[in-house]
Amino acid sequence: MAYDKMISESWAETFAIVLLLVGFFLALFLNSAVLAYFVIVLAGLIAGRFFFQRRIAQPIFPFILIIVGFLLGFLLGSIWANKTLLIVLFIASTVASYFLHKKGYLEYFKTAGFIK
Does any domain span residue 115?
no
Question: What is d(CA 38, CA 27) in angstroms, rounded to the nearest whole number?
Answer: 11
- What's the pTM? 0.83
pLDDT at residue number 61: 84
The DSSP H or E segment spanning 62 is: helix 61-77
**pLDDT tens, residue by residue, 12-36:** 888 889 999 999 999 999 988 999 9
Does any domain span residue 80?
yes
Cα-to-chain-centroid distance, residue 74: 11
Containing structural domain, residue 54: 31-102
Confidence of residue 71 (pLDDT cuts 50, 70, 90): very high
Residue 116 pLDDT exceeds 60: no
Position 79, amino acid: I
pLDDT at residue number 75: 94
Does any domain span residue 10?
no
Residue 113 pLDDT exceeds 70: no
- Domain count across the chain: 1
Question: What is d(CA 52, CA 95) in angstroms, rounded to the nearest whole number?
Answer: 10
